[in-house]
Amino acid sequence: MKEQTSIVLMNFSGIYEEERFWKERQVSWIDAKDICGTNCYCDDEAIAEINKRTENHSFAGIHFIDSGNYHYMSKLLLGLEKEDLFLAVFDHHTDMQRPAFGGILSCGGWIREALETNENLKHVILVGPPQAAMEETKKELAEDGSSKEIKEI
C-alpha cells in the first residue's frame, strides 16, 4: 500500500536532518544518503535503488528533493505520470545540456532526457535562464532533430 502524505522528503545529503520545517508535520521520509552514484549524476544502479525505495510512496503533493545536485529526481518523478504533462521549471540553468558521460542522468541534463524519453511530456516552459543559454539550448535541440518545443519566460 502506498504511503499517503502531502510532503515527501528525499534526503540525499542529510540537509533535512538540520531543518525544522517538517518536524511538526506528517511527512514521507525517504533516506537516500547511502545510495552511491547520486551526487550530480545518477547511474543505472542508483536509479534502480531510488525506484525501489520510492515505490511505496505516493507522489501526490510537495516533494523536497534536496539540493540542485539532485534535480534529476524530477525526471524520475515525471515518469510516474501517465497523462500529458506540461512542465514549468524555475531555475537559472536550462538543465538541458547534452550528456557528458554517455547516457548517465545528470542535474544538468535531466530536462533534455525527459523530453527525449517521456512521450507524455508535451511542453516545457523555462523561467529564469539567461537568453544566451536558451538560444544555445534551442540550437542544440534543432541540431539533434528534436521535435519538442521549449519556451522561455
Distance, in Å, from the CA atom of 54 to the CA atom of 3, rounded to the nearest integer, reads 10
3-state DSSP assignment of residue 68: helix
Look at residue 100 in the predicted model and tell me its pLDDT.
78
pLDDT tens profile 71-107: 999 999 888 888 898 889 999 999 998 887 777 899 9
Percent above pLDDT 90 for the chain = 52
Residue 48 main-chain phi, psi, to 5 deg:
-60, -40
Supply 67's cell numbers.
Answer: 539540493
User: Do residues 30 and 10 lie in contact, with contact meaning Cβ atoms separated by under 8 Å?
Assistant: yes
Amino acid at 99: P
pTM comes to 0.84
Stretch among 27-31, 57-61, 76-80, 106-110 having the lowest mean pLDDT: 57-61
Specify the DSSP class assigned to residue 78.
H
Mean pLDDT over the full length of the chain? 88
User: Do residues 57 and 30 lie in contact, with contact meaning Cβ atoms separated by under 8 Å?
Assistant: yes
User: Do residues 91 and 53 lie in contact, with contact meaning Cβ atoms separated by under 8 Å?
Assistant: no
pLDDT tens profile 37-55: 999 999 999 999 999 999 8
Look at residue 1 in the predicted model and tell me its pLDDT.
57
Residue 34, CA distances (Å) to 2, 19, 45, 75, 135 in order: 23, 19, 13, 21, 38
Say which residue the cell 539533434 belongs to: 144
